[in-house]
Amino acid sequence: MYQRLNRTYYQDPHGETHFSWIGNILIVRAIGPFNIEGVDTSFEQLKAEVAKANNTSWIRLDYPDENTFGDHEVIRGIEQGFFWSLENGCRAIASVTTTSLQKALFESFLSRHDLNLRPFEEEESAMEWLSTQ
């Protein structure tokens, strides 16, 4: 058991997130199923990546793999990462979804929140949309 982000954790983090920059585009690759410990770890990594890059205006391109998913608490944690990004210099987020469930979750989220975030099935379409943001 350990504590971080004012939570007590009972499991090791599950899921991996890899970050890289191409100019002002933050590439976020999520791999595997996540638990809340994994989402919180990824969120801390996201904040560190953005701080390190020191970009005042940037865009984000997400690539969740076909296994990237989690329970309702995980989904809320991922949503908080979207909010945080858009409140900290991110102009737009595109996600190249790999499953119909991921796309449905994005669309459900967008039906409740008016954010500059869009799901795409193809990288080319995502990059084209991001170039206009």
- Find the angle CA(133)-CA(26)-CA(28) to the nearest 5 degrees: 115
Lookup result for tokens 């004012």: 6
Counting residues of the chain whose pLDDT is more than 70, the rounded percentage is 92
pTM here? 0.88
What does residue 121 show for φ and ψ, rounded to 5 degrees? -90, -20
Sorted by where each starts, the structural domains of the chain and their CATH numbers stand as 2-40+53-131 (3.30.750.24)
pLDDT, tens digit (0-9, with 9 covering 90-100), for 81-115: 999 999 999 999 999 999 998 888 889 999 999 99
